[in-house]
């Protein structure tokens, strides 16, 4: 049995952290669904930047949109929504079969809105309406300014993928924002069944401490943080407050493990996926990691539901994980903005080149 199949049978959803028009039109994504148990997909500006920059798959569409007077952000979102509609339709049978638990795709709001709560809310509503697909998440960062937009989006009935979470505390804050939105829907007599996932970034922890962690702790911090977060997740779902909204017809916000491609060339290329097997969670992984998992991955046990304080040994080694978690979120937000600017430059450059041709 392939490790991808075993992971799926253990109760964890495997999502692909990639999208290109080539993946869609070539039948590759369909094959991943059929053969590698892939049940969803995530995207981000960096992924689209690479897809547009490194292929000719989008040239005809860009050329046509330029003739229509489209440019910049407006042109990009048209391309992205076209791709995500196709992907959403491929996953729609899974979405229907699981009553909306699985089969999702994700589209990110502009990262330049990271500190603009009203702007983020407006963008989330607009993008979800334009896509016209029930299985499309809108990605909003779980930053201080993002939390109010998450709550308001859930209250408005927009499914949200909360991104850019790095710690258990950040996860809990995002979960509470989601829960407040659901509770407000219940109080207003609205259907509380609005889906969400909370995305915890894993490998960036180990990248951040690669030069300072003792050899015996190398490539262990991300897994320790994720294990602690999973324990918090299970505690949240078992709490009276969550049980009350479940009783009113709400669904759980699932925990998603993101950034699970191994960055250290000396470590196993399936390190994080194998370590973070856990039921009723999602692991979104790069294409190379998915292929490696199918080829030679080995899935053992699942994460414990109650974690001992696995971070103590890092504190003893002089690492302030609370401070680092905040730093990683700030750096992640800045990195997203840079990726967005790179994407806009790519769109502008391609548009000019194709227009001149």
pLDDT for position 190 = 98
Counting as low any pLDDT under 50, the low residues of the chain are none
pLDDT score for 308? 65
Which CATH number fits the domain that encloses residue 112? Answer: 3.20.20.70
Overall number of domains in the chain: 1
| Share in percent of the chain as helix, strand, coil (round to 5) | 55, 10, 30
For residue 115, the enclosing domain spans 3-356
pLDDT of residue 107: 97
pLDDT (0 to 100) of residue 307: 66
Contact 182, 194 (CB under 8 A): yes
The Cα 165–Cα 199 span in angstroms is: 6
Active site residue 139: yes
Quote the pLDDT of residue 192.
98
**What does the alpha-carbon distance between residue 73 and residue 63 come to, in Å, rounded to a whole number?**
15
pLDDT in tens, 198-207: 999 999 999 9
Q: Of these residues, 65, 70, 139, 350, which one is catalytic? A: 139
112-115: long-range contacts at Cβ-Cβ below 8 A with a sequence spacing of 24 or more? 112/337, 112/340, 114/141, 114/143, 114/145, 114/146, 114/333, 114/336, 114/337, 115/143, 115/145
Nearest to 38 by CA among 268, 260, 284: 284
**What is the reported pLDDT for 114?**
83
- pLDDT for res 356: 83
Question: Judging by DSSP bridges, how do beta strands 105-108 and 254-258 pair with one another?
Answer: unpaired
């Amino acid at each position: 049995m392939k490790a991808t199949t075993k992971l799926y049978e253990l109760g964890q959803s495997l999502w692909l952290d990639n999208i290109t028009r080539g993946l869609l039109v070539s039948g590759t994504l369909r094959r991943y669904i059929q053969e590698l148990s892939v049940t969803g997909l995530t995207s981000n500006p960096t992924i689209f930047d690479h897809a547009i920059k490194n292929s000719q798959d989008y040239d005809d569409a860009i050329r046509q949109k330029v003739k229509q007077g489209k440019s910049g952000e407006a042109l990009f979102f048209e391309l992205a929504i076209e791709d995500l509609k196709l992907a959403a339709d491929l996953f729609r049978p899974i979405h229907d079969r699981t009553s909306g638990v699985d089969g999702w795709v994700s589209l990110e709001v502009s990262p330049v809105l990271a500190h603009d709560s009203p702007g983020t809310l407006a963008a989330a509503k607009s993008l979800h309406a334009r896509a016209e697909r029930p299985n499309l998440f809108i990605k909003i960062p779980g930053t201080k300014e993002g939390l109010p937009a998450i709550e308001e989006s859930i209250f408005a009935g927009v499914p949200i993928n909360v991104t850019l979470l790095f710690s258990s505390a950040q996860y809990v804050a995002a979960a509470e924002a989601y829960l407040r939105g659901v509770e407000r829907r219940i109080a207003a007599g609205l259907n509380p069944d609005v889906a969400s996932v909370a995305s915890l970034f894993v490998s960036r922890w180990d990248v951040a401490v690669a030069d300072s962690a003792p050899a015996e702790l190398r490539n262990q911090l991300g897994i320790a943080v994720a294990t602690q977060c999973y324990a918090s997740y299970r505690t949240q779902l078992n709490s009276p407050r969550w049980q009350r909204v479940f009783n009113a017809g709400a669904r759980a916000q699932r925990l998603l493990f993101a950034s699970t491609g191994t960055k250290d060339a000396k470590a196993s290329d399936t390190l994080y996926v194998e370590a973070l097997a856990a039921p009723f969670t999602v692991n979104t992984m790069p294409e190379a990691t998915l292929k490696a998992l199918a080829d030679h991955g080995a899935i053992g046990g699942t994460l414990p539901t109650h974690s001992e304080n696995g971070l103590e040994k890092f504190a003893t080694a002089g690492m302030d994980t609370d401070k680092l978690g905040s730093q990683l979120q700030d750096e992640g937000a800045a990195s997203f903005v840079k990726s967005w600017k790179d994407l806009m430059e790519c769109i502008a450059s391609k548009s000019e080149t194709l227009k001149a041709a």
